[in-house]
Structure 1
Amino acid sequence: MRIAIAGSTGTVGKLVHSIATERGHDVVALARSNGHDLEHASLPPSVLDRVDTIVDVSGIQTLSRHRSRRFFESVSANLQQAGTAAGVGHLVALSIVGIDGVDAAYYGGKLAHERAVQRGALPHTLLRAAQFHEFAEQTLVRGKMGPITVVPAARVRPIAAREVAEHLVTLAEGEPVGRARDLTGPRDELLIDMVRALLDARGIRRTTIEMRLPGSFGRAMSSGRLRGHANAERGTVTFAEWLAAQS
């Protein structure tokens, strides 16, 4: 089948591209580097010619609710418009577990993304997944403040991005199901422990400080609600196993 990937150069997008190709699918990569500005410009329906399924793993690095909402609503509108015109039969979109009622910061944008997918004309499948193991690396970079790293207080149930990508491709190969069963990692972790383990694995001595972020965004992270529900599907690769495989 022919699969288009929105956000094909991102953490998950690159893996979706690789896995879909390995499974013998014809892949259309939608990314700025390929001339597709899905936020600011309409996508010509010809780009989606003969596409069966769009996998939307687009993303933006921001903590601004307004900025993230604008991004996801614009991208979703462009994909819906071009996909409908091209006769695409299925849209698979990725979101985050546990964000119900957290209409703040980046999570507010993801809730807007979900609403846009659900009210759109394209038959859809919406997958909520837990934070990736790769989130530790992102936190290490974003939280760097001189000689220390500030890590948000967060209780998570992280999953390897590759396992999420494999699940997305499997969903893309099937029929639209609406809300798919949530996907989380195999065990609970504290983000501060993940960051410290990452530093130890790299032989880096660096002070890390855990800080609870303010507002509903911070409460969601520290409360453990972002671990997802007990009835979610579970990945198999633990953070420790993933980290060992990186060396």
Structure 2
Amino acid sequence: MQVAVAGGTGLVGKFVVAELRAAGHQPVILARSQGVDLTTGVGLQDRLSGCDVVINVANVVTTRAKVAVDFFSRTTGNLLSVARRTGVKHVITLSIVGSDEVDFGYYMGKRAQEELVRDGDLPWTVLRATQFFEFPEPLLDNRSPVVLMPNMLTRPVAARDVAKRLVDHVTQDPAGMAREIAGPQQLGMVDMARRIVRAQGRHRIVVPVSLPGKVGKAMSGGGLLPHGDYDEGPLTFDDYLAGLARPMATGR
């Protein structure tokens, strides 16, 4: 099956592409490096022609509601419009657990995206996932010895496990709101960041920061945890840390 992957060069997208190939599908990457601009729709018609399914994992890194809503609305709107014209039969979209409960800027963008998918006339599946194991790393990559890390309670999940679940939906009937996916352990983001620092042998002081008001309370109090039945990714955070550990230098 020919499957388009919006954001196929990103963190989750790379795993999705690899899983599609392993399952015998033909991935078609929708990204600027492939001549596609999701924000304008340039290049979409040619790349989507002949595709049966679209997996949308396109992303923007922002905490601002205006930026997030604009990005997810424009990219999803363009994708749905062209997918309809080219005969795509199923649109699978990655979203976030708690996006409908926490009034944070980025999550408001994901809400707008989900609404467009739900209200569209193409068969659809939305898979909500918890934060990935990789979530703290961009914040740890600055050169400052002190890193501010938000107080967040989550069940972090491996991006690879999320990609596998997305690809599973390719050969299934459209599910609407699919069972959420989360990791096997409940962890705080500050603890995760400190453990990443230790595993990599880096020197960073991680300082907890609570966002003000209802948003901070929801993030630290369980608003980002799955409710009811959900699928559990098998990989643990310890598995992830083992892959990050730097080998000890050997001298002669």
TM class by smaller structure: over 0.9
Q: What CA distance in whole angstroms lies between the structure 2 residues aligned with 1:204 and 1:88?
A: 46
Give the TM-score taking structure 1 as reference length. Answer: 0.94
* Residues 44, 56 of structure 1: alpha-carbon distance in 2 compared, 3 angstrom cutoff: closer
* 1:185 paired to 2:195: no
Q: Which amino acid aligns with 2:171?
A: E
Alignment correspondent of 2:73: 73
Of 198, 207, 210, 1:209 maps to 207
Alignment correspondent of 1:131: 131
* Residues 44, 157 of structure 1: alpha-carbon distance in 2 compared, 3 angstrom cutoff: closer
Cα deviations by residue, 1:173-223 (Å, 9 ceiling, x for unpaired): 211111100110001001111111111111123211101012443333211
- Deviation, structure 1 residue 145: 7.3
Q: Which runs of 5+ in 1 are unaligned?
A: none
Q: Is the 8 A contact 2:36 2:44 kept in 1?
A: no
Give the TM-score taking structure 2 as reference length. Answer: 0.93
Q: Is the 8 A contact 2:145 2:203 kept in 1?
A: no
- Which region of structure 1 is more displaced relative to structure 2, 20-29 or 237-246? 237-246
- Deviation, structure 1 residue 230: 4.3
Extract structure 1 runs of 4+ deviating beyond 4 A: none
- Which region of structure 1 is more displaced relative to structure 2, 38-47 or 152-161? 38-47
* Residues 44, 140 of structure 1: alpha-carbon distance in 2 compared, 3 angstrom cutoff: closer
Q: Which amino acid aligns with 1:18?
A: A
Q: Which amino acid aligns with 1:182?
A: E
User: Tell me, what secondary structure is at the counterpart of 2:136?
Assistant: helix
Q: Which amino acid aligns with 2:124?
A: H
Q: What pairs up with 1:45-60 in 2 under 5 angstroms?
A: 45-60=45-60
Alignment correspondent of 2:155: 157
Q: What pairs up with 1:231-242 in 2 under 5 angstroms?
A: 231-242=229-240
Q: CA RMSD in A?
A: 1.5
Q: What CA distance in whole angstroms lies between the structure 1 residues aligned with 2:104 and 2:192?
A: 24
- Which region of structure 1 is more displaced relative to structure 2, 174-183 or 34-43? 34-43
Q: What pairs up with 1:93-108 in 2 under 5 angstroms?
A: 93-108=93-108
Identity of aligned residues (%): 40
Q: Which amino acid aligns with 2:224?
A: L
Q: What CA distance in whole angstroms lies between the structure 2 residues aligned with 1:229 and 1:219?
A: 17
Q: Is the 8 A contact 2:37 2:44 kept in 1?
A: no
Q: Is the 8 A contact 2:41 2:79 kept in 1?
A: no
- Which region of structure 1 is more displaced relative to structure 2, 87-96 or 234-243? 234-243
* Residues 66, 216 of structure 1: alpha-carbon distance in 2 compared, 3 angstrom cutoff: farther
Q: What CA distance in whole angstroms lies between the structure 1 residues aligned with 2:189 and 2:139?
A: 9
Q: Is the 8 A contact 2:38 2:44 kept in 1?
A: no
Q: Is the 8 A contact 1:114 1:126 kept in 2?
A: yes
